[in-house]
Structure 1
Amino acid sequence: MGKWIDLPPVWLAGFLAVAWAQSAYYPAGLGFGGAWADFAGGLLIGGGVLLMALAFFEFRRHRTTLMPHETPERLVQSGIFTRTRNPIYVGDALVLLGFILRWDAVLALPLLPVFVWVLEKRFIEPEEDRMRRKFRMDFARYCEKTRRWI
């Protein structure tokens, strides 16, 4: 049960819940400015979902795992993975930022760097350690040519 709770979408849902609660119960009279924040937030949410979908497509195309606590069978370096090593996590961060903007959750903005830090420590670093051990030089070359985030 614990491994199903410790997944990036669950963490994202938790951070989204905190941002929404801040917006709903503690607005503090602050706001991003209405329509432009809704538009920008929508673009960020849509962009985040698109990044995640592109990454899922590549994982499925290469027939490797999507689960962050498992070692993948193949090192995916095509499609969106030519631009970033972690498009799903970038997408998660964009979705969080987009909802913070749409909900006018100004005081929740510090959640974004905290969320990125959680992703780094809980998921990215352990994943990269497993891939470094399994794929050795291929992963080292991939790291040289493709950034971790963007």
Structure 2
Amino acid sequence: MKQLSLPEMIDVPPVWLAAFAAIAWCQATYLPLGLSLAHPITQLLGGLLVGAGVVVILLAAYEFRRHKTSIIPHLTPNRIIQSGVFSKSRNPIYLGDALILLGLVLRWDAVLSLPLVPIFVWCIERRFIVAEENRMRREFRADYGRYEQKVRRWV
């Protein structure tokens, strides 16, 4: 198995999610500019999105454990997971991260931070997903090609 360098150990999606969430929290706390979507429904929706994101991530982690393969983004897994949430999304953990970020933005009423969600998705795609998919294509060839055709990247 490949030995991860310190930058690779730090350069993981939860760190990126934490950074984007910190920016949103700072914006809501120190720079709200009088903009607000505050409403009990918005608060509820934000909480539901955070909860849904956590559930999706846990379901994906369960599949990684069940299939005994690596969940670490910089490593090549030893098999393609196509069951559970992976039958609906090729990247359920990243989808869960995006749901959590959107939910936090809504809960914190960080209106100016709403554009952070698509920026986060773009960064995750460029930083992790493209490289992961290239490794999967090299490792699993036609099997991964069929999986790509059958299951969308996000939903």
TM-score by length of 1: 0.99
1:92 aligned to 2:97? yes
Q: Secondary structure at the match of 2:73?
A: coil
In structure 2, which of residues 118, 132, 137 is the aligned counterpart of residue 113 of structure 1? 118
Code of the aligned partner of 1:119: I
Query: CA shift at 1:131, angstroms?
Result: 0.2
Code of the aligned partner of 1:139: Y
TM-score by length of 2: 0.96
Where does 1:43-82 land on structure 2 (aligned, <5 Å)? 43-82=48-87
Query: CA shift at 1:20, angstroms?
Result: 0.0
Q: What is the aligned partner in structure 2 of residue 21 from structure 1?
A: 26
Q: C-alpha root-mean-square deviation of aligned residues, in Å?
A: 0.6
Bigger shift: residues 24-33 or 83-92: 24-33
Query: CA shift at 1:7, angstroms?
Result: 0.2
In structure 1, which of residues 32, 54, 76 is the aligned counterpart of residue 37 of structure 2? 32
Distance 1:2 1:141 in 2: 33
What percent of counterpart residues are identical?
A: 57
Distance 2:99 2:69 in 1: 24
Query: CA shift at 1:63, angstroms?
Result: 0.2
Bigger shift: residues 27-36 or 101-110: 27-36
Query: CA shift at 1:33, angstroms?
Result: 2.8
Distance 1:145 1:10 in 2: 30
Query: CA shift at 1:48, angstroms?
Result: 0.3
Distance 1:132 1:51 in 2: 24
Distance 1:35 1:26 in 2: 22
Q: Could you tell me which runs of 5 or more consecutive residues in structure 2 were left unpaired when the two chains were aligned.
A: 1-5
Distance 2:73 2:59 in 1: 17
